[in-house]
Amino acid sequence: MQPLALTLGEPAGIGPDLALAVWHRRAELDVPPFYMVADAAFLGRRARRLGLDLPVTTAPPDRAMTVFPGALPVVDIDIKVTAEPGRPDRSSAPAAIASIRRGVADVLAGSAAAVVTNPVAKNVLYESGFAEPGHTEFLAKLVQEATGRSLRPVMLLWSPELAVVPVTIHLPLKAIFTALSAELIVETGRIVARDLRTRFRIARPRLAITGLNPHAGEEGALGAEDRTIVAPAVAALNAEGIEARGPLPADSLFHERARASYDVALCMYHDQALIPIKTLAFDHAVNVTLGLPFVRTSPDHGTAFDIAGTGTADATSLIAALRLAARLAAADSPALMSAS
């Protein structure tokens, strides 16, 4: 198996701290081999700041597996990173973007088994002229640039306790009623069901579809959208052989007994999905991008500028992201790569 490509993320955030700490404890944590896509000199400085005595070695991806037991392998991005902990600078956005680009190129070329992305600061990227809403959309753009194929990525938040997919993401609440459609729900459900079968190895995925309105619209008394948008989408998914239930009231969908009845909950908007999983699995949830021709995971947290460089950040979510990426990549197949 090839190593995982771990991107730099926002260099002024906790991503580099966590990557260094995980490599330092690699034997104890039993993490899969990975290499960093970063500026090796920058990582060396950050390690010293954190009081970590560890070697950082520039190496191509094909040598990463050999280097990993004795040193942190780094594929250099040829950008001098000067950002200090908690203080992004002019090097931050170019370095973060270059790292993602190289990680995607490596996995598409077969040099890496999967891409694990450290968190970025969107405001820093936007100030540099970054045009995409976030990581997920940028990954889809890179795939299109490399392959000519247009695709729609889907965000899955996964943990052993709960898996959720927000059908609409990062929109003001008032915009959801315009953005949501039966077609969008059906397309999302197809992608989720396919990737749960092929990568998570769930033979017949069970999808729970939430209602948009409180109490799933209360038979139309609290809004017609659950009857006119969500219910037809659920019917269409079932007609395609995808096991789906809904619209279901979101306020009673996430207790333990209810969670045992489905494999993933498709939620109509961001907070409807993110609140329950952050409540149940705040420290170890993993962000997984479905619909790509490769595996991409990410820790489900931000850059935490306030604690960057202190060595106090919790690496649990990054560890989970690395382990899940290796698991999903092992289940992946060339057939999926060509069919995605």
176 and 277 housed in the same domain: yes
b/e 133-144 (16+ beta carbons within 10 angstroms → b) = eebbbbbbebbe
Q: Are residues 175 and 116 in the same domain?
A: no
User: For 182-223, what is each residue's pLDDT tens digit?
Assistant: 999 999 999 999 999 999 999 999 999 999 998 987 787 878
Mean pLDDT of 102-121: 96
Is the separation of the CB atoms in 266 and 165 below 8 Å?
yes
Q: Are residues 273 and 308 in the same domain?
A: no
Residue range 231-264, pLDDT digits in tens: 999 999 999 999 999 999 999 999 999 999 999 9
State the Cα angle at 140 between 64 and 134, rounded to 5°: 90
Q: In what order do the strands lie in the sheet with 72-76?
A: 56-58, 72-76, 34-38, 4-7, 115-116, 296-299, 286-290, 154-158, 163-166, 264-267, 206-210, 243-248
**148 and 295 belong to one structural domain:** yes
Residue-number span of the structural domain to which 37 is assigned:
1-153+291-340
Contact (CB, 8 A) for 7 and 99: yes
Q: Are residues 124 and 20 in the same domain?
A: yes
Query: 299 near 318, Cβ under 8 Å?
Result: yes
219 in the same domain as 100: no
Domain total for the chain?
2
End residue of a domain, out of 253, 282, 311: 282
> pLDDT value at position 25?
95
Q: Which of 282, 304, 330 is the last residue of a domain?
A: 282
Task: Judge if 75 and 19 occupy the same domain.
Answer: yes
Residue 340 pLDDT level (bands cut at 50, 70, 90): very low
Residue in 45, 16, 67 with CA at minimum distance from that of residue 304: 16
Specify the pLDDT at position 221.
80
Q: Which of the four pLDDT bands, split at 50, 70 and 90, describes residue 169?
A: confident
- Alpha helices for 6-121 (secondary structure H): 15-24, 26-29, 40-49, 64-67, 92-109
Confidence label for 336 from pLDDT (cuts 50, 70 and 90): very low
Q: Do 9 and 108 have their domain in common?
A: yes
User: What's the mean pLDDT in 45-56?
Assistant: 95
Q: Using the predicted structure, report yes or no on whether residue 334 has a pLDDT greater than 60.
A: no
Higher-confidence residue: 222 or 124?
124
Q: What stretch of H or E contains 238?
A: helix 231-239
Distance, CA of 332 to CA of 34 (rounded, Å): 18
Same domain (yes/no): 226, 188: yes
**CATH code of the domain in which 212 resides:** 3.40.718.10
Strand runs labelled E in the chain: 4-7, 34-38, 56-58, 72-76, 115-116, 154-158, 163-166, 206-210, 243-248, 264-267, 286-290, 296-299
Same domain, residue pair 337 and 240: no
Last-in-domain residue among 239, 258, 282: 282
The verdict on 106 and 162 lying in the same domain is no
Same domain, 169 and 107: no
